[in-house]
Structure 1
Amino acid sequence: MSGATSSVSIVTQTTIRPESADAFARWQVDTSAVVAAFPGFIEQQLIPPRPPLQVDWVIVQRFHSLEQAKTWMASPERQARIQGATPMLVGRDDVHIVKDDAGAARTSPVSAVISTRVKPGMEAAYLRWEQKIAAAQSRAPGMQGYRFEPAVPGVQEDYVAILRFDSEANLRTWMDSPERRALVAEAAPMTAEFHTRTVQSGFEQWFRNVAPPGEGAPAAWKMNMIVVLTLYPTVFLWGVLVGAPILAGMLKVDFPVALFIGNVFSVLLTSLMVPWTAKRLGWWLTPDPARRTRVNLQGAALLIAAYGLMILVFWKLF
């Protein structure tokens, strides 16, 4: 088992113009026929929007290996299909490569946020260039996904691309690669401004020691639930026991200053409480794959019950 190659899924989230929903569904059927001919393809699942909980279309394409998935992502056939769907799209285009098991090395995810101001009249050319560099970066080692946010006149003047890599080293390798430098130089005549910043992922630092060796960070929604579990009582008790009676009441501290002090205290305490809590919920954060669905539901129900209990206790006592 340890030497087996794990399958991967390409998960694409995209927002479609309401009037184009039927056309997009037909387009996806044709795209399914194209991707099915690629080596390593296993299956495709199309998940239509279910407002208000899910407003995007979600397409999941499974391949036997990461390299085969990247071959499809970088292929001219896929780029041609995307080009045909462009008039139907609106807003974000979010693509992630996800391993179907937890066999990846545990590294610290990192993102690069790239904002670009495009010269007037060059928008169409820039979008074609964006598809070109997206295909190139999909082949980069450690690349886990990307999101592309087009400009919205009057709201967001910049085009924003977010690249997600499994480690800072792999991100830096791609950012400094001759291939990317050549592509960036190619886009220079189309761009007026260009900014890049690196962002470490959010809560993973508090969960690094939870998963067994060789497994990735827990699912983001689980980490978020644990952060809420520890943050809510911290913020509430600080407010009713310290913030209101002492800082605001006795010391007459101005609200902005009192809020800042409370935030600092909450972050410091949460940074201690989250790892402690995560260790005790390790059975839920990294469950046995054979029991994952059942354990996920049990853990989520437990935390939701804990939320309700805290709200009830605080409501009755304070």
Structure 2
Amino acid sequence: MNSMHATNEKSDIATLIIRHHVKAAARQGYESWLREIAREGQRFKGHLGANVIRPTTGSGSYTIVVRFDSEASLIHWMESEVRKQLVHDAPPHLEMPEDIEIQTGMEYWFTPQSPKQVHAKPIRQFLVSLSAIYPLIVAVPWSLQPLFSAIPPLAHPLAAKFLTAVIVVFLMVYVVMPRYTRLVAAWLYK
């Protein structure tokens, strides 16, 4: 059964999580379908990338994580005719209808992969976020000092803070949190 969850935020990075249970005999056809839909998705404005978590041995469960620069860009892809046609072609490969979820911002990194797990407690989310952000807000401005010296307009407080914020948020969303939350998962979801 499809379950769709979307927030009202329109400016955050939007993550589409799709779960497919693929028939064993249809894996090769599904992989071809998956390559085609991924190729088409990349053509849409705001597409930031996709990751496929393939099944472990004996399982037919695929998880596809697709990121867009905003919820509006993601919805544009979701409502496109090309995606609708490709989704229409998927059922012969699947054991059951796809499960879809939309999340914005960093919410995805704090959502456990197993539905049997509880969500991380807010205090633990706070501590993980703080311990990831603090080193970045110390290291990033320090590492940008040579750039600020070389290009004086970037040293203006507003420009420097904006550039620092862009780099810190990028590192948090794409580099730090995906790895860090996996590293501390046992404690985070305890």
Flag the 1:31–1:301 CA change in 2: closer, same or farther, 3 A: same
Name the counterpart of 1:88. 93
Which structure 2 segments of 5+ residues have no match? 1-9, 134-171
Is 1:288 the counterpart of 2:132? The answer is: yes
How many residues are aligned here? 137
Q: TM-score scaled by structure 1?
A: 0.36
Query: Equivalent residue for 2:142?
Result: none
SS at match of 1:50: coil
Contact kept? 2:111, 2:119, Cα under 8 Å = no
Q: What's the CA shift for 1:92? A: 4.2
2:68 to 63, 70, 73: 63
Which gives a bigger RCO, structure 1 or 2 (Cα 8 Å, sep 6+)? Answer: 2
Per the TM alignment, residue 30 of structure 1 is displaced from its structure 2 partner at its CA by 1.3
Contact 2:47 2:69 in 1 (8 A): yes
Q: Percent of counterpart pairs with the same letter?
A: 17
Structure 1 Cα separation of the partners of residues 49 and 39 of structure 2: 11
Aligned residue in 1 for 2:54: 48
Please identify the structure whose Cα radius of gyration is greater.
1
Q: CA deviation at 1:300?
A: 2.1
Compare the two structures and name the one with the higher strand fraction: 1
How far did 1:27 drift? 0.9
In 2, Cα distance between the equivalents of 1:56 and 1:297? 23
Shift of 1:100: 3.7
Q: Identify if the C-alpha distance between structure 1 residues 51 and 225 changes in structure 2 by more than 3 Å, giving closer, same or farther.
A: farther
Contact map agreement 1:7 1:99 (CA 8 A) in 2: yes
Separation (CA, whole Å) in 2 of partners of 1:282 and 1:41: 29
In structure 2, distance between residues paired with 1:77 and 1:24: 17
Unmatched segments (≥5 aa) in structure 1: 103-215, 227-274, 305-318
Query: In the alignment, what sits opposite 1:33?
Result: 39
- Which residues of 2 match residues 1-318 of structure 1 at below 5 A? 5-51=11-57, 55-101=60-106, 219-220=111-112, 224=118, 279=123, 282-284=126-128, 288=132, 290=172, 292=177, 293-294=179-180, 297-298=183-184, 300-301=186-187
The answer on whether the counterparts of 2:14 and 2:102 sit within 8 Å (CA) in structure 1 is yes
Computed over aligned residues only, the root mean square deviation of the Cα atoms, in angstroms, reads 3.6
Secondary structure, counterpart of 1:98 in structure 2: strand
Offset, 1:76:
1.5
Seen in structure 2, the aligned counterparts of structure 1 residues 33 and 279 have a Cα distance that, compared at 3 Å, is closer
